[in-house]
């Protein structure tokens, strides 16, 4: 029998349940191993999760890209410059005209869950190195702080009346 990793509704439901139980209101389900040269995983986000603005930097030029594909729900993407100034927003919806996006290397960004149990497939260069994976914009609050909760609400408000 083939070694298949199925991405089905049962898995989405399982990871969504785990995300609702976590303080961060999100949960990854890795398809890759830590040492794999390509990271591929599901990331389930709930409204209220705070993703501190960051970029991915890699030693090999061109390998800091990140690709998102929404499989369920909706995600708001905010693209920022190095000073934290908002450059662009985009709504990614499983049922919408834009379902996914690839970010260029060194592009600061954050994500906002616009619907409960939003599931995204992420693809980026590996291997995963926790101490070097993300470069954060220092002016934004750290996760788990009251300021982070307020920031997430502010960002989510950008998308409340957007019907793209």
Q: What share of the chain in percent tops pLDDT 70?
A: 91
Let me know: does 76 contact 89? Beta carbons within 8 Å: yes
Q: What is the largest CA-CA distance in the chain?
A: 52
Segment 98-144, tens digit of pLDDT: 999 999 888 999 999 999 999 999 999 887 766 667 889 999 999 99
How many angstroms separate the Cα of 54 from the Cα of each of 39, 99, 110, 123, 161?
17, 21, 7, 16, 26
Average model confidence (pLDDT) for the chain?
A: 92
Query: CB–CB of 92/144 below 8 Å?
Result: no
CA-based nearest residue to 162, from 69, 97, 65: 97
Given 3.40.50.620, 2.70.160.11, 2.60.120.10, 2.170.150.70, which CATH number is that of 9-157? 2.60.120.10
Position 76 confidence tier, pLDDT thresholds 50, 70, 90: very high
Contact 53, 22 (CB under 8 A): no
Q: What's the pTM value of the predicted model, to 2 decimals?
A: 0.92
- Whether 35 shows a pLDDT value over 60: the answer reads yes
Better-predicted residue by pLDDT, 34 or 59: 34
What is the structure's pLDDT at 114? 97
19: helix, strand or coil: helix
Q: Give yes or no for a contact between 12 and 72, defined as CB atoms under 8 angstroms apart.
A: yes
pLDDT of residue 34: 86
Q: Starting at the edge strand that comes first in sequence, how are the strands of the sheet with 100-103 ordered?
A: 26-30, 38-45, 118-125, 66-72, 100-103
Confidence of residue 60 (pLDDT cuts 50, 70, 90): low
């Amino acid at each position: 029998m083939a070694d298949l990793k199925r991405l089905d509704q049962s898995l989405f439901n399982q990871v969504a349940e785990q995300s609702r139980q976590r303080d961060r209101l999100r949960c990854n389900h890795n398809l890759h191993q830590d040492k794999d040269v390509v990271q591929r995983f599901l990331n389930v986000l709930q409204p209220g999760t705070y993703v501190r603005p960051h970029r991915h930097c890699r030693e090999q030029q061109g390998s800091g890209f990140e690709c998102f594909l929404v499989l369920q729900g909706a995600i708001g993407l905010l693209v920022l410059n190095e000073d934290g100034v908002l450059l662009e927003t985009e709504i990614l919806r499983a049922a919408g005209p834009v379902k996914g996006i690839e970010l260029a290397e060194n592009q600061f960004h954050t994500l906002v869950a616009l619907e409960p149990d939003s599931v995204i497939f992420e693809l980026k260069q590996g291997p995963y190195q926790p101490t070097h994976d993300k470069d954060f914009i220092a002016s934004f609050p750290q996760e788990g702080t009251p300021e982070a909760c307020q920031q997430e609400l502010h960002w989510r408000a950008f998308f409340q009346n957007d019907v793209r």
